[in-house]
Amino acid sequence: MKKYLFLFILSVSVQLCFPYPSHSEKFNFRKTRWGMSRQEVIASEQGEPADIKNNIIGYKVTVMDKNFSVFYFFIKNKLIRTIYLLNVEHSNKNYFIYEYEQIKKTLAKKYGPPIKDETLWADKSYKDDRSHWGLAISLGYLAFSSTWETDKTRIFNCISGENSRISCFVEYISKKLIHLKEQEQRKKNMEAF
């Protein structure tokens, strides 16, 4: 009996010292890691990019049986940020809130409860009439957001709108490399003067 107890304790000790890498340690977003080059990201995705610009690569993907555009953002050929943008149209604008909530539930299953969960009213005209909240979002009166953090990534789920259009997206940002974006912005600001 003591032999089995010793082997069990030894096994647990080894696992604590050398843990198996979790999915979140292996990849930060889809099958990519922060700091990957454009070529590495392209190799990680199936199919050809739908859009390539200077520092952005875009794909059309299906997630949760829904159509999304996924965008990869690079600075100095390093992946620093990604976005899933929901590509759907609904005649009933309230259905976008349902889409946002479904995405939020999926993220909560993966990352736990959000560290921040906000309902933001810029204009409270429709606050007491939930049946018009989709309209309120499309006018820019209302937005919802929720935030998660892992050791390497900040995740931001949002639904907002303006000019009768609604955007529902999930943004992933490298906590370590976001300074590259800030440096790039400061450089552009300096060049403007």
**79-91 pLDDT tens trace:** 999 999 999 999 9
With 90 as the cut, is the pLDDT of residue 26 above it?
Answer: no
pLDDT band (50, 70, 90) for residue 13: very low
DSSP state of 32: B
Residue 89 lies in a domain: yes
3-12, 45-54, 127-136, 154-163, range with the lowest pLDDT:
3-12
Residue 27 lies in a domain: yes
Q: pLDDT tens digit string along 129-183?
A: 999 999 999 999 999 999 999 999 999 999 999 999 999 999 999 999 877 777 7
Residue 132 corresponds to which tokens in the numbers above? Answer: 């018009």
Residue 6 lies in a domain: no
pLDDT at 25: 57
In which domain, by residue range, is 175 found? Answer: 20-187
**Tally of domains within the chain:** 1
Residue 2 lies in a domain: no
Does the reported pTM lie above 0.85? no
Sheet strand arrangement including 51-53: 51-53, 56-63, 66-75, 78-86, 165-174, 153-162, 142-149, 116-121
Residue 160 lies in a domain: yes
Length of the chain: 193
Residue 9 lies in a domain: no
